[in-house]
Structure 1
Amino acid sequence: MQLQLKKARAQLEPGEPGRISTRVNRQVWTVVALALLCWGSFAPSLAAQDTHEEQQGPRLPDPVYILERVELVGEFSTSKDLIHETLALELGQEVNVSILTQAQLRLLATGFFRTAQFGLEPGSERGNVIVRVVLEERNTILLSDLFLGTSQRSDFWGGLDVLDSNIFGIGHTARAAFVTSGDEFAFEVSYVDPTIFASPVSMGFTAHFSRGGEQAFPVVAADLNTPSSFEVDVLRAGGRLSNGLFILPQLGLFLDLRVEGLKSDSPFDDLLESQLQPGTSWLSTAALAVELDTRDDPVMPRNGVRLNLSAEGAHPSVVGDYQYLRLLGQLNFATEFLPGHILRLDLVGGTIIGEAPFFERFFVGDFNDLLPSRNLGLNFASRPAADFFNTGTDQLGYENNILRASAEYAIPLTEGIDWVYRSEFFLGGGLYAATTSDADAARVILGVEPMPGPRDPFPFDLTINLGLRVETSIGIFGLSFANGLALVPL
């Protein structure tokens, strides 16, 4: 079973190209509050500068000044060039409260600073001002995930996923993750430049290496010597190049190119011929995605919508031995329908056309909160789903088609307490359904130990979870019902 800081769903999964998720806490709601508070710091300075105008006549509601220079104050490691680039204030331009407030919001939206207080001082000439920005930097090194669990198949597995969203102080994101259990392990490193040459184009890469296995359970014995189960060992090594173009701040197009070398070892290759090529093979894919994201936070949103549509395909005429098309759509909606009461709705649907390797398919543990999900592409457990409705979900493993609809109700508990940004209680549940081709289902089931009994053409089941989430300066921690199940080695 599995115990995690949070039920991670890799945001750079196959078929979901785009920005490598930094999982940085984009506190837009905090930004708005700070902007309102900073209005009070602007007003006295502006009033002091406009004393002469008040004596001569009515004071303008939003006076305009000439920017003489910008002074940055405080201890921070972020590059001054990056800060000035984000502020987007040119010397000699006209500025007022509205322009400076927008600059402050842009600076706080990077997630690099806890506070950014603006003030005005008289310039060397009448009508000129000096903008003084006092910065308090926040921690950008985050514990993105903790992998920890036990099961009947694996006595123990563990690992970490750590990232720095402002490495070297230049606004780039670097990530390193690993997980291990006995002879099985996986390792990933990522690096992203979100704004190449101050443009709306992002570029990044991910390198992946893993050595793991899956339990295979033949549905019909190939011969009298076929065991009830056998191990499939897979070695994977490769990389992914990710490119993004942000048409608008909340709308992006993404293109991913990936190449992987595979080496498999199985005593019954004929049973796996539609799910994995025997021996050494190559997998190369191209993926295209479009994403609209208006949420105020990527993990604990209060308001907003996220829509992601992606397509990833492989063809042997390029470089590789596989031919398939993977389509995936995700819709996430959040609203604070009453003060302190948040409703989140999620809809996910996907299909695979062709013969994709099994690890590219939709794994039941990634969609059922009551089952351990994969860690960096490795599955360390083989427990089947509960099958509450007796439709055959306890026979699902890696499938070609998936559909999930869920809802979550959350109540914020605390906000802004020192290093704890906020916490919430949540209660969620939903339905999911999955299936695969009859040919695959009739030969072998990978990843879970299937239970005997009939299986509907499109089995569906219930997923539920409840617990606490706490967003801190080093990451998001969770304690939930699903985590509690992870303490039992089933």
Structure 2
Amino acid sequence: REEGREEDDAREVGREDDPAELAPPDIGERRSLRIARIEVLGNEQVPKQIILETLAGEELSVDAALLWPEDSRVQRARQRLLATGNFERVTLKIRPVAGDATAAALIVDVEERGSLSVTNLYIGSSRMTPFRGGLQVREHNFLGRSVHIGGGFIWGTRPPAIASSRRQQGGRVFIEAPRLAGTRVGMGGALYVLSASDPFRVAGAEDDPDPALFRTVDFTRIGGLLGVTFPLIADLSLGVDYRFERVSALLPEDPRYYDPAGGSRRVDLYLQDGIHRQTAAHFRLVWDGRDLAATLGKGGRFALDVQFSSPIVGSEYEYIKLVAGGAYTFRLPWGHWITPTLVAGQIAGDAPRYERFFTGDLSDWTPGRELSFIYTTRAAIDVFGTGIDTRTLGDLFTRFDLEYVWPLFQGSRVRGIKGGQLFLSTGVYTLVEPRELREFRRARGEMVAPPGFNANFGLRLDTVIGTLDLSVGNVLRRTPL
């Protein structure tokens, strides 16, 4: 996370600013300077021409006028360079030109990040799936053109304790251009093939993770997505995607759950039988002010996701899925950081099971979905005794976390490690099931929205190929408990 970086701050955290400091300079002090030359420092992999083209997109080029002491185009150009994903740091400054009081040199000082990163490492074991493994990688600067390409795959062994199950495996590839040449618009696309075998309970107590008490529903998804992004203002962007896929599902006849008391009820698998289409329009609004954390000691990020699937957009499912979340980071006077995070989501309509909220994605101690696959029958750990360990899929969730970060070092004598920090987090969450199960819970006097508890502790290392998370939660999610 970029909010974890430590840099000198011109203002003390929590201090009230003097109104005189915030007043704009006298109009007589503002003047226009001619850009005599542009110098680029620190670039090794990214061609200088790419950086100059980005500056030109904000009308910053040789002989162009530059307002001093402040020009909004400079901040916009910096944001565009950071948005390419090629740089850890971008600094723009001006330097006087000897003998010419009306001219200045524009200096662009960059620190490149490694162009190849491992964004996900899938490896672990569970009682349901003895082994699963895979990874996802991203190249941030393909052919030196600031284009992102990448892909990932995952493979799991067949569950030996579940009859008629199959291996879960799949992969995806993607390409993204954060900014098209000469525009502020970005484009991207992806293709994927996923062969799933999702577990559902047919017997035993609802909190018993024994795989022998489960059966699986098999389905294959083949599809892709196309999308565009464009900035609304400096830190606010809008993304629009269209996803299309062919789903082939083989549903068991009359799936039922038989409880230990001798009763039974039908299990809704939230999936249509046979071959069908699932398409969706996806809108994403993101405000990203995390760069402010390094300079002002506080900054945050907010995202709003809306997914719409309907026959109107060519789908055989009909639902709306809304997810909103935000986090705000504060630097404490002694140099540590604290970040509260709140995320919530709701689904209205008949969404397929792979779009519904999964309790493993909310718990720090339980395996979540990996490339959309569920490789476990383990429930969440019920610390409060509320029954959260009897919930699997839901239409509504809320999660709140509070994370404390202690930066240990920046830079390292160990090649490939750029920084490290200790972190401690704690929080609560809840998952609410679809309507028919809510009525069932009420009839039995059970909580409809049982709270669960989260906590995690560990070391986070920033390496040249990505972030390495050495935490208690990461170990628990990957071991067959």
User: How would you bin the TM-score normalised by the shorter chain?
Assistant: 0.7 to 0.9
Is the 8 Å Cα contact of residues 145 and 160 (structure 1) preserved in structure 2?
yes
1:91 aligns with 2:85: no
* Kept after mapping to 2: 8 A contact 1:292/1:308: yes
Task: Kindly indicate whether residue 222 of structure 2 is the aligned counterpart of residue 237 of structure 1.
Answer: yes
Where in structure 2 are there 5+ consecutive unaligned residues? 11-27, 158-166, 205-211, 256-265
Between stretches 302-311 and 318-327, larger displacement belongs to 302-311
Change (3 A) 1:104 1:312: closer
Question: Equivalent residue for 1:290?
Answer: 285
CA contact (8 A) 1:255 1:289 kept: yes
1:168: which partner in 2? 143
Structure 1 residues 406 and 138, CA, compared in 2 at 3 Å: closer, same or farther? closer
Identify if the C-alpha distance between structure 1 residues 346 and 240 changes in structure 2 by more than 3 Å, giving closer, same or farther: same
Instruction: Report what 1:147 is aligned to.
Output: 122
Decide whether the 8 Å contact of 1:327 with 1:351 is kept in 2: yes
1:461 paired with 2:459, answer no
Q: 1:196 to 1:34 in 2, by over 3 A?
A: farther
1:426 aligned residue: 423
CA pair 307-130 structure 1, distance change in 2 beyond 3 A? closer
Quick one: which of 169, 181, 195 aligns to 1:185? 169
What secondary structure is seen at the aligned counterpart in 1 of 2:474?
helix
Contact 2:82/2:90 (CA < 8 Å) preserved in 1? Answer: no
Question: Which residue identity lines up with residue 254 of structure 1 in the other structure?
Answer: G
Deviation, structure 1 residue 381: 1.1
Provide the rounded CA distance (Å) in 1 between the counterparts of 2:88 and 2:321.
40
Shift of residue 198, structure 1, vs aligned partner = 3.2
Q: Cα distance, 1:442 vs. partner?
A: 8.6
- Rate the CA distance shift 1:124–1:85 in 2: closer, same or farther, 3 A: farther
Determine if contact 2:126/2:376 at 8 Å carries over to the other structure: yes
- Offset of residue 367 of structure 1: 0.7
- Counterpart Cα distance in 2 of 1:385 and 1:137: 40
What SS does structure 1 have at the residue aligned with 2:61? coil
Distance 1:288 1:130, change over 3 A: closer
Q: Contact 2:50–2:145 (CA<8 Å) still a contact in 1?
A: yes
Are the equivalent residues in 1 in contact too, given 2:388–2:450 (CA < 8 A)? yes
- In structure 2, relative to structure 1, the CA distance for the partners of 1:185 and 1:208 (3 Å cut) is same
CA distance in structure 2 between the partners assigned to 1:129 and 1:292 by the alignment = 33
Q: Deviation string for 1:267-290 (max 9, x for gaps)?
A: 235656560001112111112232
SS state at 1:412 partner: strand
The CA deviation string for residues 23-43 of structure 1, in whole angstroms up to 9 with x for no partner, is: xx658957x7699xxxxxxxx
Identical residues among aligned pairs (%): 27
TM-score w.r.t. length of structure 2: 0.77
Deviations for 1:333-388, whole angstroms, at most 9, x for unmatched residues?
A: 11113232211111111111111111100001111111111111001111111112
CA distance in 1, matches of 2:110, 2:281: 42
1:126-137 correspondence runs (5 A): 137=112
1:345 aligns with 2:340: yes
CA contact (8 A) 1:330 1:347 kept: yes
Structure 1 position 158 matched with structure 2 position 165: no
Q: Is the 8 A contact 2:82 2:89 kept in 1?
A: no
- C-alpha separation in 1, matches of 2:3 and 2:426: 26
Query: Is 1:76 aligned to residue 73 of structure 2?
Result: no
Equivalent-residue separation in structure 1 for 2:155 and 2:75 (angstroms): 46
C-alpha deviation, 1:156, in angstroms: 0.7
Equivalence for 2:235: 250
CA-atom RMSD in angstroms: 3.6
Quote the residue 1:210 is aligned against.
194
Quote the Cα distance in structure 1 between the aligned partners of 2:323 and 2:333.
Answer: 32
Q: Does 1:109 align with 2:82?
A: yes
CA 1:28–1:167 in structure 2 vs 1: closer, same or farther (change >3 Å)?
farther
The 1:71–1:488 alpha-carbon spacing in structure 2 relative to 1, beyond 3 Å, is: closer
**2:358 corresponds to 1:363:** yes
Deviation at 1:130, TM superposition (A): 6.0
Query: Would you say 1:195 and 2:169 are equivalent positions?
Result: no
Aligned-residue offset at 1:441: 7.0
Q: How does 1:366-445 map to 2 (within 5 A)?
A: 366-417=361-412, 419-440=416-437
Q: Give the direction of change, closer, same or farther, for the CA distance of 1:136–1:411 in structure 2 (3 Å limit).
A: closer
For the Cα contact (< 8 Å) 2:38–2:61, is it kept in 1?
A: no
Does structure 2 retain, via aligned residues, the 8 Å contact 1:314–1:324?
yes
Matched, 1:310 2:305: yes
Structure-2 separation of matches of 1:150 and 1:274: 25
- Tell whether the 8 Å contact from 1:29 to 1:296 is kept in structure 2 after alignment: no
| Equivalent-residue separation in structure 1 for 2:176 and 2:348 (angstroms) | 31
Question: Given residue 429 of structure 1, which amino acid in structure 2 is its aligned partner?
Answer: T
- The unaligned stretches of length 5 or more in structure 1 are 1-24, 36-59, 221-226, 444-452
Query: Are the structure 2 counterparts of residues 296 and 69 from structure 1 closer, same or farther at C-alpha, using a change threshold of 3 Å?
Result: closer
Residues 176 and 188 in structure 2, CA contact (< 8 A), matched pair in contact too:
yes
Bigger shift: residues 420-429 or 349-358:
420-429
Contact 2:123 2:478 in 1 (8 A): no
Q: Please give the per-residue CA displacement for 1:296-332, whole angstroms capped at 9, x wherever unaligned.
A: 399xx97312222222121134422211111111121
Q: Take 1:297 and 1:161, find their aligned partners in 2: how far apart are those partners? A: 29
Amino acid at match of 1:367: L
SS at match of 2:287: strand
Q: How many angstroms apart in 2 are the aligned matches of 1:151 and 1:259?
A: 32
Normalised TM-score (structure 1):
0.76
Counterparts of 2:292 and 2:38 in 1: how far apart (Å)?
30
- Looking at both structures, which has the greater relative contact order when contacts are Cα pairs under 8 Å and sequence separation is at least 6? 1
